[in-house]
Structure 1
Amino acid sequence: MLAQHLQAGNIKRVARGVFASVPKHADARKWSVDRFLAASRLRRGAVIAYHSAIELHGSAYTEGYEVQVIAPGEPGVLEAAGFSCRFIKPPRGIARRGGEVKDGVTVVDRMGLDVRVTTVERTIADLFDRYELAGGADELFNSLDLVARVDAAALVRHMRALGNAAAAGALGFWLEREQKRLGIPDTALRQLHAMAPRQARYALGARPGEGRTAKGWNVILPVDVVERRFEGL
């Protein structure tokens, strides 16, 4: 039966055991599946996260071929039709119920179906924790320029759960620079100061001898990040 539908162009294979229904009047040979929707169905409990979540929220500087998904099971990469899916273990400190990630997760509509994705605040905290999944520091900060609003309290809460002092310092540096644009309260900055390293630590890929200290945050960041022009500065 599956073979008949595939041959007729009624469905399209996304990955082993996963198929997508081809819309009526669409040519199955040219029609592309929504990669976020498809990736969210590859494992039970999957949540679109990291750079892919920034894309879904409309704030990514560039689009990626890879879809990053937090999901139970072993991490790894699965090649699918038109995209690759990277499965990532849930970050440490993140609350789970029944094996599924619940904290900092929302739902967006893709072609009339629900897709679970990390919230903007959870996504930002996760990307400072694992900047390499943003595509590097430049892509991270270029994307952050497109973020229009954040819930500072939620952002601080997610960073505290991650327990990464260097990431907290780097996040605090960014929020301090963008305090006026994003309306960040002083309380949030003080809380991040308390989480920042006690001694200078490298963050966001800065290398010894090539980074620059973010004043007041005890983190050494890539020079391009520290010297970025922020609105109002």
Structure 2
Amino acid sequence: MSSDESVATAQLPLADIAYNQLRRDILSCRLMPGSMITEAELMESYRIGKSSCRVALARLCHEHLVVSRPRKGYHIAPVTVQDVEEIFTLRAQLEPLAARLAVGRVDIEQLRLLEAACRVELPAPLPERIDVFMNANKRFHLAIAVASGNTHLIRTLSGLMDEMSRLVALGFNVQKTKPEIKNDHNAMIQAFIDQDAKRVELIARRHIETFQAMTLEKVYATLTRDGVLLPILARRA
């Protein structure tokens, strides 16, 4: 975390700080899908008060990241096969649309900087390197969505990218490898420079489909790894 981010965090209400910390650890799978948690455990682990803990958990329940179990505590929302399918289906439909709408409007230099940030290699543990990659990757895709000018599209894609973070952390962290996006971002940037809407849309769709295949491979490898039982459920009825 940068010094500016540390100052900004210090100025937040305690309940917001607790919420941000818990949400970050859920999305990065430091708190694993399906795992049980209690207020007492969270208060001790995160050094937060009961009121802040309860406010944070209420917000996370509202976002369907945490599920309340009366008289038992809470559990981190599981990842289901249906979740995986729905997230990628929506991204494959919405991101090419956002890219097409952004042609002639997106900030090319900003995209170049964000693409470079996706490739930064830090001398840090793999989970932290994946966090850095996913944050930069999210900013790249949201910059395109913002340029589309459609506020509902921006909001929807932002939520989908957060949910993607859990899938990536679950698959790639356990398999001990970092996602690679190869040349798709640069190809997309060049298509924006050329103001070729059809090519931008095609590259965006191909990028999502390629990343879907990579992510599913890692998630399912995690599921079938010897001695590992992860709470990914079958498709909901």
Higher helix share: 2
Alignment TM class, shorter chain as reference:
under 0.3
Higher strand share: 1
Bigger relative CO (Cα 8 Å, ≥ 6 apart): 2
TM-score normalized by the length of structure 2 = 0.24
